Amino acid sequence: MDQAVLDRLVAAALAAQSRAYAPYSQFAVGAAVLTADGHIFSGANIENASYPLTICAERVALFSAHMAAAGPVTALAVVTPTATVASPCGACRQVIFELAPRAQIILLNADASERRLTTPAELLPYGFGPDQLRGE
């Protein structure tokens, strides 16, 4: 991925973070996905007083891209309000594994000064997916 595209993706994740609804945890997360056709879809975590109804930024962005039929996800950037990079939660790792299996994952700290590159398989080794449902 060239630097200009990476910069756009990171900027979209940072902008999404500012739209998070996190009145309970105060932990605003932003995410942005890049699809093969060049579109960027963003998402932010949205909390709820009934905590299980909360949805993470990564899932908002991935589900938005899926609903737009935008094509395969090639990259996902996630920014957290932390001094060092933080990894997606287990539920998000599972969704990433299935909806973005070949994506480059860019994890960013609060000011995007620290970046860690990873893959869905590294985030979720021995992941469960469609192959297992088919008995493969």
Annotated binding site for substrate: 45-51
> Going by C-beta distance under 8 Å and a sequence separation of 6 or more, which residues neighbour residue 122?
none
Neighbours of 79 (CB within 10 A): 29
Annotated binding-site residues for Zn(2+) read 56, 89, 92
The catalytic position among 58, 114, 122, 136 is: 58
Q: Verify whether residue 114 is a known catalytic residue.
A: no
| CB atoms closer than 10 angstroms to residue 11 | 15
C-alpha closest to that of 57 among 85, 114, 15: 15
Binding positions: 45-51, 56, 89, 92
Distance in angstroms (rounded) separating the CA atoms of residues 31 and 129: 22
**How far is Cα 103 from Cα 105, in angstroms, rounded to an integer?**
6
Residues taking part in catalysis: 58
